[in-house]
Structures are given as C-alpha cells and as structure tokens.
Amino acid sequence: MEHRYWLMLLIILVTGSSMAVIYVKHESRILFSELRVNQKRQDELRIQWSRLLIQKSTLITQANVESVARKKLDMVLPENIQIVTLVEYD
C-alpha cells in the first residue's frame, strides 16, 4: 500500500517539475528576446556615443579652440611683458 503513495507522490513531483521546466523555458525565451532588444538598443546608443565622442574630440582640437578664441572671442596670447607673476612672501 505504501508503494502507491510513493508512486502518487513521484507522479505529482514529475508533473510539477515538467510544468516548471516549461514555465522556465518560456520565461527564458522572453528574457532572452528582451536581452536582444536591449543589446540592439545598446548598439544604437554606442553608435551615437562614438559619434558624439568623435565630434567632441574634433571640437576641442587645439587648432579649433585657438581659432574660436582668436576670431570669435577676440582673444590674444599675452606678451610676456603683460604677464604679472604674483610671488607670495611672509
């Protein structure tokens, strides 16, 4: 008699675990497709990021900064005679 209970229990466990497998498999597919969506998004963002990074490094090249400073902002390099150095003493 005892065997029957064991069998019942095992059948329930097996059915349960097989359902769990189905569920987990399903879940993993959903998560994976989500992962792929996010990876594609990451790719797009990376394209944008690298574009911006390159743009930034072009804008801050010495030559560019210098020409903006000189032409747009009317700045000049001070002559040495115009530079005043402050020396601290007690």
Q: Does 86 engage in binding with other proteins (CB under 8 A)?
A: yes
Q: Does 1 engage in binding with other proteins (CB under 8 A)?
A: no
Calculate Rg over the CA atoms of the chain: 35
Instruction: Of 65, 90, 68, 69, give the one whose Cα is nearest residue 78.
Output: 69
The residue from 1, 73, 76, 87 that contacts other proteins (CB under 8 A) is 87
Q: Does 83 engage in binding with other proteins (CB under 8 A)?
A: yes
Q: Does 80 engage in binding with other proteins (CB under 8 A)?
A: yes
Q: Is 1 helix (H, G, I), strand (E, B) or coil?
A: coil
Phi, psi of 89, rounded to the nearest 5 degrees: -145, 160
**Rounded to the nearest whole angstrom, what is the least distance from the CB of residue 76 to other proteins in the complex?**
13
